[in-house]
Chains A and B, each alone.
Chain A
Amino acid sequence: MEQRSLADVRALVKRHEKPARTGRKLGEEIFFRSLMNIASVLIVGVMGVILISIFYKGISTFSWSMLAEDMGSGFYLNRGGGIKNAIVGSLYLSLSATLLALVVGLACALCMNVYMVKFPKLLNAARFLLDLIWGVPSIIYGAFGFSLMVFLGVKTSLLAGIITVALFILPIMIRAIDEVMKTVPAGLSESVLSMGSTRSELSYKVYVRQCFPGIVTAVLLAFGRAVGDAASVLYVTGESSKTPTSLLDNATTLPVAIYNQINSPYAATQDKAYASAFVLTLIILIISLLSRYISKRYQKYRIY
């Protein structure tokens, strides 16, 4: 056998103690970790930049009188006026659309989770179809709503907008409610049914109560989407410079108003677009805060 000197052995051990790989491993780890940190910082940074610039531009051009006045004629031609009718129009539209979508959507989610659990294949097919329409962009609902209006021979109105937006937010609402109802343990349904309740009672009395926080979050999520969306109602609600007083009136919504203002050739009208964008962002942020608060608050009424 070959004799090794102590020095040789020491050198060998040293080489193995400090393999070259460790340095590379560490380097790679540090490299990717810093890339990840940059990515996350970038996201938070972009959010900050957008919010700050919208608030900065908006607050400097905002005046309270904007909230109190209707547009009046020639608003986009720099003849003064506020955005009250657009805000009220948006709220009418979104509230009614959300209510409509809730009635249909809640029934739909209950149907899947209480009735259709008996037919797993059918249930999977239904969820598959729902996933498909979940991704359909709002402009398609706008186009569909418009063609439906032409087909039925009705004119642009708040009502047409409500129906279009309700269709658009329906998949969003159903999915959000379904996600919550999926988590209800089977034991709850079993015990309720074994106590002699009917399936409809199980649905509308037990499930609705158990999933209440989730339903509220879903409603607010859908409401936020309804308030912020412009593409679906661009040509369905028509244009109006007055606050709508009936379902058959034309109505302007806030996002559409912003779009029209910023495309106006007058600088003063464009300034109002910044202020309106600020108002819209504020409304959205309030809804989002509210939804967090409510879902936390009602969490304690769940049984499980």
Chain B
Amino acid sequence: MNISNHRRTRDRVVTVLTYLAMAFVLLLPFALFVGLAAKSELLFRDNSLGHLLFSSQWKPSSGEFGFKPFIVGSLYVTLIAMLISAPICFLSAIHITQYAPRKVAKIVVTAIDILAGIPSVVYGVWGMVFVVPWLGRIAAGLGIQSNGYSILAGGIVLSIMVIPFILNILMEIYRTIPKELTEVSLSLGATRWETIRDVLNRKALPGILAAFGFGFARAFGETMAVLMVVGNVVKIPSGLFDPGYPLPALIANSFGELGSIPEIESALMFAALILLVVVLVFNATLRWLIIRVEKY
């Protein structure tokens, strides 16, 4: 070996440190899970898992912890956001990758980049100043009792926030479809749209569904902006203009005031654990599906 001792030792030390960093990062998801699970253990002494997830009784002072209103609130807000953003993202992704002239595509992509960069709190401020009063007026026009702080407001703000996230994945998917598919289809006499509808979309379908799934998981955990416009009333919402109380909002809102009582702290950690499990399961399933699809 022609390698100096000094260089060899340095190589060994650096290699070990590099692997250590890697190990640290790979342990992170397990650490998050174990840490949160250990903290929520206290809650399980008096309540069964089924009771915690499906009871609507939330009275922390008397030891009643039913997370159903929060879980349902989260689901509603996220579903509304997805219903708004999914068609927009789908259409715009095709537009940018298939139709738009380079300059137009550049403008839209820049807009997406800017939207992606705007902090959550700023979306929240915008929602409080514009979306909420606007919805309040619409509700008044429809004769519904609402001040505008509602799951619909949360859904609208959230839909704008996830658009860049979903759209970036979708654009990537359409860009990786081989050009030959389009060329063959066009040369057989299909129109542009027929090519997209029958060839590209069919090829991209698993990817499109995965993109929506990732968007859902992303929207499910979004905190600040939703917290600011959704009303935060512990009740299962019965209409679009009803206020709701999603899980992340619960965690963010009650830390300061309640963090000192062990049972409540444990309940909040359990809320975070639900959130973590939902996001991890979603992401793991979708990743796995993508890997399966890519093989064929």
Contacts and interface: CB of A to CB of B under 8 A. Distances in A.
B275 interface: yes
Interface of chain A: mostly helix, strand, loop or mixed: helix
Nearest to A37: B95
B63 interface: no
B96 A228 contact: no
Interface in A244-300: 255-256, 258-259, 262, 273-274, 277, 280-281, 284-285, 287-288
B117 A224 contact: yes
Contact of A143 (B104, B124, B126, B272): B272
A133 B121 contact: no
B177 interface: no
Contacts of A154: none
Given A47-B111, A139-B221, A139-B223, A39 B95 contact: yes
- Contact size range, B: 35 or more
Contact of A57 (B17, B129, B160): B129
B14 A204 contact: yes
B111 A234 contact: no
B99 interface: yes
Contacts of B120: 228-231, 255
Contacts of A199: 11, 15
Contact of A112 (B17, B22, B123): B22
Interface of chain B: mostly helix, strand, loop or mixed: helix
B87 A126 contact: no
A28 B126 CA distance: 37
Contacts of B108: 40, 43-44
Contacts of A288: 113-114, 117
A143 B269 CA distance: 7
A283 to B, nearest CB: 9
Contact of B287 (A37, A128, A146, A231): A128
Interface of B: 2-3, 7-8, 10-11, 14-15, 17-19, 21-22, 24-26, 28-29, 31-32, 35-36, 39, 87-92, 94-96, 99-100, 104, 107-108, 111-115, 117-126, 128-130, 160, 163, 167, 191-194, 214, 217-218, 220-224, 228, 248, 251-252, 255-256, 259, 265, 268-269, 272, 275-276, 279-280, 282-284, 287
